[in-house]
Amino acid sequence: MKRILAAAAAAMLFSVHPMAASTQALLNRSKAVSETPMPALSQQSEKVEVSADAPVLSKTSDTLAAARVYEYHPFDANYSGIYINEFYCETTRLMIVADDGKSYLVTDPTPFTNGSLTCTLRYGNNAPMIRSMKVATASQRASSMPAYIMRLSDNAILDDISATFSATFIPAGDVAVTVRDASDSSAPKQKMLIKNGAKIVIRHQMDVSYERLNQLQFTPKYNVDYNALRHDGPAGIESDVMYPDSDYENSTADYCWESLGRICAELNHSDSAVLNYIPKLSTFWTDGLLLKKFSNASAFIRDFGNADIKANVQLLITNPFVTFDGEETIPHEDIIIYQYHGKGLTDVTNKFRYTRNSDGDGAFVTRTNHLGIYILSSEKVR
């Protein structure tokens, strides 16, 4: 964790509360978290067959790997106003240093996830900010690689994250793992014998920027929930309620909805237009059934309510699938825009064209006399 913000900086992501545990005590030690071993496979009691010249690990292999964060959840713990933060991360590369001193790349990680090897996790740096870690289940993994769920301390809010942890894999008996020579990408695959009593230690480095967090899907899953529309909850462009500003210095539009200096939407109207009112803009998911429709997609909601403004206006919605550096995480031409009107979803993508907002960021623009609920999605839904 590069920096922890004070409660006054609620414009970031989460509410801040005093640390319940002694930070100094935690700094003086790292935490170990043992996972309940998965049931050993029946084949582990059988003799493992490998070639006579197969590489063998009978001691301890200790290697480094990056941990890729693929999912992120802020959620209100029991609707208490204290936000919990969970990261879902996976090992990006499994390396084993065999008894012969050579490094081998694991090409089939199945033994690391099917119970052939049990896993123990240990925190490294930033231990005070880590409340718990556990191995992800099959349904929670993003790929075939081993994955882990890291829960930060209740009080923690974050900007950029940097943390280390180790995963130690121990066989219940002799296990065969498919590998290849790490120094030669064209080397053939072969079986490595992991002998009973050996240890495979993977030391992970996890770095994730606030920019990356903003692009990660944090739709509630796995019994994670939001207390939606709490003003003391997560703030920022993706969990905020914004009010129209007719005098925002960075916007040339007649009205602008912005958060943390980022324009979320803009509205322009003619000089002769008479607007009865301009609604606020929410980026919270408040409809559970609607949210469920997009559970298999990356989606962002722009909720103006059901505002009939009695005038023809130009509405710009900033493309949420763009990083701070302007890189599109999904090509804008592949984004589907839906409008939700209570009775269902209508695909209104063809009513928008692509342009730029006042900050020069990519945005979708349309003309309308009704501001509703818009959802920008990476996938089509039924």
Q: Give pLDDT tens digits for 310-343.
A: 778 999 999 988 876 678 888 999 999 999 987 7
**Higher-scoring residue by pLDDT: 22, 372:** 372
Taking the C-alpha atoms of residue 65 and residue 165, their distance in angstroms, rounded to an integer, is 10
Q: What are the E-state strand segments in 58-173? A: 60-76, 83-91, 95-97, 103-106, 117-123, 130-135, 147-152, 161-171
Mean pLDDT of 254-278: 82
> Domains of the chain, with CATH numbers?
7-208 (no CATH), 241-377 (2.60.220)
H runs (alpha helix) in 228-326: 288-293
- End-to-end, the C-alpha distance of the chain in Å comes to 40
Strand partners of residue 60: 199
**Higher-scoring residue by pLDDT: 345, 214:** 345
Mean pLDDT of 162-181: 92
- Residue where the block lists tokens 């029991």: 78
Taking the C-alpha atoms of residue 315 and residue 304, their distance in angstroms, rounded to an integer, is 11
In the chain, the percentage of residues whose pLDDT exceeds 70 is 71
Mean pLDDT of 87-111: 94
**Higher-scoring residue by pLDDT: 187, 80:** 187
Taking the C-alpha atoms of residue 93 and residue 359, their distance in angstroms, rounded to an integer, is 39
Taking the C-alpha atoms of residue 107 and residue 77, their distance in angstroms, rounded to an integer, is 39
| Closest CA relative to residue 265, chosen from 290, 291, 283, 284 | 283
Taking the C-alpha atoms of residue 27 and residue 135, their distance in angstroms, rounded to an integer, is 23
pLDDT the model gives residue 321 = 85
Taking the C-alpha atoms of residue 175 and residue 18, their distance in angstroms, rounded to an integer, is 47
Contact 31, 178 (CB under 8 A): no
| Closest CA relative to residue 152, chosen from 170, 126, 185 | 126
